[in-house]
Amino acid sequence: MTLGLYLDFDLESCGKIPLKAKLHIQPRELVALLGPSGSGKTTLLRSLAGLYTEVTGHIQSGNIDWLNSTQKIQIKPEQRSLGMVFQNYALFPHLTALQNVMLPLFKLSKRDANQKALDWLARVHLSGLELRKPHELSGGQRQRVALARALVAEPRLLLLDEPFSAVDQATRHKLRRELALLRHQIEAPTLLVTHDLEEALQLADRICVLHHGQILQVATPDELMSHPRSPTVARLLGMHNLFKGIVKDVSKTQITLDWCGKTLLITTQKTYKVGQTIEWMATPQSLILHRPDRPSNGDKENPIEGRIEELVMLGPHVSISVRPTHAPELPLRFFIPRHFVERQDLRMGMSIFVSLLGEQLHIFD
Amino acid sequence: MEFQALEISFKLAILTSLLLLPIGIALGRFIAWSHRPWVPVLQTLIFLPLVLPPTVLGYYFLVAFSGQAPFGSLWETLFNKSLNFSFEGLLIASIIANLPFSVQPIQHAFSSIDRDLRDAARTCGLNAWQAFFKIELPLIWPGLAGAFVLTFAHTLGEFGVVLMVGGNLSGETRTLSIAIYDQVQAFNLEAAGQMALVLLALAFVSLLLLQGLGQFRQRRKI
């Protein structure tokens, strides 16, 4: 049974909203669809549900065709056996929590449906609130009812459309934890739409970065954060410090890069041609700020001299911006702990050294 | 008090309101949720009776119902009876003249059902009919009740269209409002006054009901 629950799709929009996406999701796998608003996340989700029909291609849930344009197969949403949690939960306002959860079980006998719905309400910690109407529940409780309703009929696919966006921060963290616990009991593949990177990193097995309706990268959270495929992906993930450079020299384990007149050594196994322009990124792990009283060391650590242009206190962290002396138009931005700023008495305008660790610098393909 | 006229008025109002419910649901739901480019045209047509003088409306009914017109002659061959100056003709005219009063509140009720809610019904496995009976109908019923009360009250008070299409045939098309007019013409002000009071009371109660429905709808909104 488990083996049959994979989801495979290859879709292209034939309507006004651009969409081109292809993915295979394993049973029990949770894939986050990450992208800014307007990137087509919700359209993709609605296409998979069959609610948005201006798409061609194929969608397969196990051995069942939900959509197959060449064979002119298009299964209606109500026949796809879906579970879906909507952004504002879309609970039926005239039904109680219990009735909401019982609704997908209308094919079962009333007694069985009742028992199953009660079980699921207990699993999402809502025992005792069965007879409340949606407007008598808090945001978090409503989300739990919606989740129970989506899961009660053992769907072949679980779709979550920004399920945590309508609640406060504290509730959001609690609900995320609950989903992380619950998801191991879910046989079906799950697609989670979110614009929150932290949420995707916490919950997803794989993250699928969407932009203008196109999948830019699908990778595990670690892989994505350490090796974003393109500068666009890196920017969508909120990463800074993306630059261009010209390859000056290549050896087996590293290349020498000319970054606006400054020579950098970057460790890499890949081959590059001398004279080639590459795009590279100083990842957060690659940046080290030196103590003002103990400036630079070896060349391998790529010391960069610069001036502190900005120090912004953000709670326990400080966002710092350093303008390199050799290229003041290309500031390096990163976070450092607040206590470091206070202990070293860092001030704006101060001259300082930053190291770019050659092993941690990322070169885009 | 002319009880026969009161009875005809009531019969006309109740039948009009009842028959308009399914029509109002079909049209209201379609207008609320369809994105077809010609929907505004349909909506304008439905709303025409709201601004047309009842005499103009009545004139077109007379023309359409006559034995020379396709609809009128079809009716005559089917039922062997003329539509003009008959209760059936009055009923059809009344239904069309009351379309805006029925469609408007029902359309509003459907518009207030969120798209996500409709989608949720389908992802819960309900087909279109199941979604209609289990989800849509329970959500729009204040709108339905509003449409019923509004058309009922409006039909009771209808004068121009009734006079044009139905004339003043006692026991067939003489409604209360026609009877009032008739009595005033005959300087029988006391009889007219009694009947006017009945219509006033009915109109007041109907509007009060509508207010109550509006408040109910507001309370239930999440």
Q: Render pLDDT for B5-29 as a digit per residue (tens, 0 to 9).
A: 999 999 999 999 999 999 999 999 9
Are A92 and B116 within 8 A, CB to CB? no
Name the band, by pLDDT with cuts 50, 70 and 90, for residue A3.
Answer: low
User: Rounded to a whole number, what is the distance in Å from the CA of B116 to chain A's nearest CA?
Assistant: 6
Q: What is the mean pLDDT of residues A343-354?
A: 91
φ and ψ at residue A125, rounded to 5 degrees: 60, 45
Give the pLDDT of residue A294: 72
Residue A276 pLDDT more than 60? yes
The span from the CA of B145 to the CA of B106, in Å, is 9
3 state SS of A267: strand
The span from the CA of B153 to the CA of B205, in Å, is 9
Are B120 and A82 within 8 A, CB to CB? no
φ and ψ at residue B208, rounded to 5 degrees: -60, -45
Q: Alpha-carbon dihedral of residues A204, A207, A212, A213, nearest 10 degrees?
A: -80
Q: Which of A239, A204, A148 is nearest to A26 (CA)?
A: A204
Percentage of chain B with pLDDT > 70? 97
Are A92 and B135 within 8 A, CB to CB? yes
Residue A154 pLDDT more than 60? yes
Q: Which residue has the higher pLDDT, A299 or A175?
A: A175
Give the pLDDT of residue B67: 85
H-type helices in chain B, by residue range?
Answer: 3-33, 39-51, 54-65, 70-79, 87-97, 99-111, 115-123, 128-131, 137-157, 160-166, 176-185, 189-220
Name the band, by pLDDT with cuts 50, 70 and 90, for residue A290.
Answer: confident
3 state SS of B159: coil
| 3-state SS string for A148-193 | HHHHCCCCCEEEEECCCCCCCHHHHHHHHHHHHHHHHHCCCCEEEE
Give the pLDDT of residue A1: 47
Are A104 and B124 within 8 A, CB to CB? yes
Q: What is the mean pLDDT of residues B96-102?
A: 95
Distances (CA, A) of A175 to A89, A164, A203: 14, 7, 11
Give the pLDDT of residue A150: 95
User: Rounded to a whole number, what is the distance in Å from the CA of B132 to chain A's nearest CA?
Assistant: 13
- Cβ atoms of A302 and A358 within 8 Å: the answer is yes
- Put the strands of the sheet holding A361-363 in their side by side order: A262-267, A254-259, A242-250, A277-282, A361-363
Neighbours of A318 (CB within 10 A): 20
Q: Give the mean pLDDT of chain A.
A: 91
The span from the CA of A155 to the CA of A157, in Å, is 5
Residue B172 pLDDT more than 50? yes
Q: Which of A294, A301, A311 is nearest to A350 (CA)?
A: A311
Q: Which residue has the higher pLDDT, B66 or B217?
A: B66
Residue B217 pLDDT more than 80? no
The span from the CA of A313 to the CA of A319, in Å, is 7
B129 touches chain A (CB under 8 A): no
Q: Render pLDDT for B125-170 as a digit per residue (tens, 0 to 9).
A: 999 999 999 999 999 998 999 999 999 999 998 888 988 888 888 8
Structure-block tokens of residue A230: 């393109």
Cα Rg of chain A, angstroms: 25
Give the pLDDT of residue A252: 87
Q: Which of A71, A87, A62 is nearest to A159 (CA)?
A: A87
A116 touches chain B (CB under 8 A): no
Q: Which of A177, A107, A120, A115 is nearest to A150 (CA)?
A: A120
Nearest CB partner across the interface for B124, out of A79, A103, A135:
A103
- Cβ atoms of A216 and A236 within 8 Å: the answer is yes
User: Rounded to a whole number, what is the distance in Å from the CA of A86 to chain B's nearest CA?
Assistant: 7
Q: Which of A199, A162, A165, A194 is nearest to A180 (CA)?
A: A199
Give the pLDDT of residue A299: 57
> How many whole angstroms from its chain centre is CA A48?
19
The span from the CA of B58 to the CA of B219, in Å, is 41
In sequence order, the 6+-apart residues with CB closer than 8 A to the CB of A5 are: A27, A61, A62, A156, A157, A187, A188, A189
Give the pLDDT of residue A325: 92
Q: What is the mean pLDDT of residues B44-72?
A: 91
Q: Which of residues 88-117 of B touch A (CB under 8 A)?
A: 114, 116-117
Give the pLDDT of residue A166: 83
Are B125 and A93 within 8 A, CB to CB? no
Q: Render pLDDT for A53-88 as a digit per residue (tens, 0 to 9).
A: 999 999 999 989 999 999 999 999 999 999 999 999
What chain A residue is nearest to B140 in terms of C-alpha separation?
A94
A86 touches chain B (CB under 8 A): yes
Give the pLDDT of residue A43: 93
- Put the strands of the sheet holding A287-289 in their side by side order: A287-289, A351-356, A303-314, A317-324, A332-337
Nearest CB partner across the interface for B123, out of A49, A91, A93:
A49
Name the band, by pLDDT with cuts 50, 70 and 90, for residue A255.
Answer: very high
Q: Which residue has the higher pLDDT, A296 or A8?
A: A8
Residue A20 pLDDT more than 70? yes
Residue A172 pLDDT more than 70? yes
B137 touches chain A (CB under 8 A): no
Structure-block tokens of residue B221: 């909104």
Helix axis angle for B3-33 and B137-157, nearest 10°, is: 140
Give the pLDDT of residue B45: 94
Residue B221 pLDDT more than 80? no
Long-range CB pairs of A244-251, under 8 A, 24+ apart, other chains included: A244/A277, A244/A278, A244/A279, A244/A280, A245/A277, A245/A278, A245/A280, A246/A275, A246/A276, A246/A277, A246/A278, A247/A272, A247/A273, A247/A274, A247/A275, A247/A276, A247/A277, A247/A278, A248/A274, A249/A274, A250/A274
Q: Which of A97, A94, A101 is nearest to B140 (CA)?
A: A94
Nearest CB partner across the interface for B124, out of A87, A134, A149:
A149
φ and ψ at residue A109, rounded to 5 degrees: -70, 155
Give the pLDDT of residue B126: 95
Which residues from A are below 8 Å from B126, CB to CB?
78, 103, 106
Model ipTM? 0.83
Name the band, by pLDDT with cuts 50, 70 and 90, for residue A16.
Answer: confident
The span from the CA of A158 to the CA of A242, in Å, is 36
Q: Give the mean pLDDT of chain B.
A: 91
User: Rounded to a whole number, what is the distance in Å from the CA of B218 to chain A's nearest CA?
Assistant: 12
B123 touches chain A (CB under 8 A): yes
Percentage of chain A with pLDDT > 70? 98
Nearest CB partner across the interface for A86, out of B120, B134, B139:
B120
State whether the Cα torsion B190-B195-B196-B197 is positive or negative: positive
A90 touches chain B (CB under 8 A): yes
The span from the CA of A188 to the CA of A171, in Å, is 25
